[in-house]
């Protein structure tokens, strides 16, 4: 029996050109560190350390700890130097990127319908940003962060998608078995990976030949199923 519905953000609750968004994101972020490291070197190391964080999780370490262990080793800069700059960026500059993001009204409706029908809802976006940034992205979907029982972030989670550890940690934080969770997302690898630990999946992305999921369709189809009680 499904008790919780887990929602991806980008491409599911919000719509964007991912490449354009990341270009502008790094374009705003990198100059913040120019007194310590050139924007070009910062951008390259940001990508490298993010890849390490996503592909090489360290047992017992949060994503934040894994990221900074690699970034500080490569640059010689300290966490105590870097983190306040990141925090200032996410507070003052990051909200401007909302201009590059569109609301998916069907996503908002699906979340609200799930709540109205007694489901617990959680965010299941990749936790490579701090909580303040992920909460901001939730507001771009015209939803309140407070309605979500769990919001994974770089500070609190130890794995990223598609690692099954991410989904296990999410279910554990909800106090549920994986089989009691439905993952909703548009990525045929990162989101469908939830099936590997026994979650059901609702794939809302572009058609992919041979993809095996519990459900496929538009996110409005999810809303209909919730209302029908047919999940």
Q: What is the pLDDT of residues 21-69, one digit of tens each?
A: 999 999 999 999 999 999 999 999 999 999 999 999 999 999 999 999 9
Same domain flag for 178 and 71: no
Rounded Cα distance between 38 and 32, Å, is 10
151 and 210 both lie in a single domain:
yes
Q: pTM for the complete prediction?
A: 0.96
Same domain, residue pair 23 and 10: no
36 and 25 housed in the same domain:
yes
Could you tell me if 183 and 2 are in contact, meaning their C-beta atoms sit under 8 angstroms apart? no
Q: How many domains does the chain have?
A: 2
CATH for 116: 3.40.50.1000
Instruction: Identify whether residues 71 and 108 lie together within a single domain.
Output: no
pLDDT tens, 108-129? Answer: 999 999 999 999 999 999 999 9
Q: In what order do the strands lie in the sheet with 120-123?
A: 120-123, 4-7, 181-185, 200-203, 215-216
């Amino acid at each position: 029996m499904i008790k919780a519905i887990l929602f991806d953000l980008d491409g599911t609750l919000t719509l964007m050109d991912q490449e354009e968004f990341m270009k502008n994101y790094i374009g705003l972020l990198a100059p913040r560190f120019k007194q310590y490291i050139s924007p070009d070197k910062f951008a390259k190391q940001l990508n490298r350390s993010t890849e390490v964080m996503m592909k090489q999780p360290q047992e017992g370490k949060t994503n934040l700890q894994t990221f900074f262990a690699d970034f500080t080793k490569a640059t010689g800069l300290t966490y105590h130097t870097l983190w306040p700059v990141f925090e200032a960026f996410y507070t003052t500059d990051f909200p401007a990127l909302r201009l590059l993001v569109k609301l998916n009204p069907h996503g908002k409706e699906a979340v609200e319908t799930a709540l109205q029908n007694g489901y617990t809802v959680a965010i299941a976006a990749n936790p490579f940003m701090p909580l303040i940034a992920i909460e901001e992205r939730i507001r771009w979907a015209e939803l309140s962060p407070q309605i979500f029982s769990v919001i994974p972030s770089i500070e609190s989670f130890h794995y990223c998608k598609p690692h099954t550890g991410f989904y296990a940690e999410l279910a554990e934080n909800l106090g549920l078995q994986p089989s009691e969770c439905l993952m909703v997302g548009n990525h045929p690898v990162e989101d469908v990976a939830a099936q590997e630990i026994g979650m059901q999946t609702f794939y809302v992305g572009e058609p992919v030949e041979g993809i095996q999921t519990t459900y496929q369709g538009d996110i409005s189809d999810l809303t209909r199923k919730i209302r029908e009680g047919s999940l």
